[in-house]
Amino acid sequence: MIRRCPHSPLRDTGWLIGWRITFGGEGWDGALPTLVEDADSQVFVALYDVTDGDEQSLDQWESAGSGLYQKIRLRVATLEGQPSAWVYVLNDFEGGRPSARTLGLLADAAEAAGAPDDYVKELRSRDCASGW
């Protein structure tokens, strides 16, 4: 986030209850990360106070204007309450394997934000495409 949104500080962390991380579509190095509803799951997230300029930059990076991802607002369970936050959800099929690089980036970010060890371990142990 620091590279894509350098003016947007970390505000909090929490959980998206009833959602899970999965992968789909086809990126340049494997399936792309996304979220899908799943009543039995939860996703650890970091919340940022995103400036207008950084939001535009992030939308461009995530190709939100092209229809690859759509932005939706979800409630996040935090120790301070349940603020709403924007998330990017892939407009494509679920399936495929992410690259080891993508899984590493997700796990490193979760770990840096303070995700529980078992959550980070599960991310790192997922099946991935060879390469990187």
- The per-residue pLDDT of the chain, averaged, comes to 90
**Contact predicate 111/122, CB 8 Å:** no
Judge whether residue 132 has pLDDT over 50. no
In this predicted structure, what is the pLDDT of residue 74?
97
- The CATH H-level (homologous superfamily) assignment of domain 10-121 is Gamma-glutamyl cyclotransferase-like (3.10.490.10)
Of 93, 89, 98, 105, give the one whose Cα is nearest residue 126. Answer: 98
In this predicted structure, what is the pLDDT of residue 10?
84
Judge whether residue 66 has pLDDT over 90. no
Residue pLDDT, tens place only, 75-101: 999 999 999 999 999 988 888 899 999
Span 38-63, mean pLDDT?
A: 90
Indicate the pTM of the whole model.
0.86
Judge whether residue 39 has pLDDT over 80. yes
Residue pLDDT, tens place only, 98-121: 999 999 999 999 999 999 999 999
User: What would the 3-class secondary structure string for the chain be?
Assistant: CCCCCCCCCEEEEEEEEEEEEEEEEEECCEEEEEEEEEEEEEEEEEEECCCHHHHHHHHHHCCHHHCCEEEEEEECEECCECCEEEEEEECCCECCCCEHHHHHHHHHHHHHCCCCHHHHHHHHCCCCECCC
Span 47-72, mean pLDDT?
A: 85
In this predicted structure, what is the pLDDT of residue 29?
83
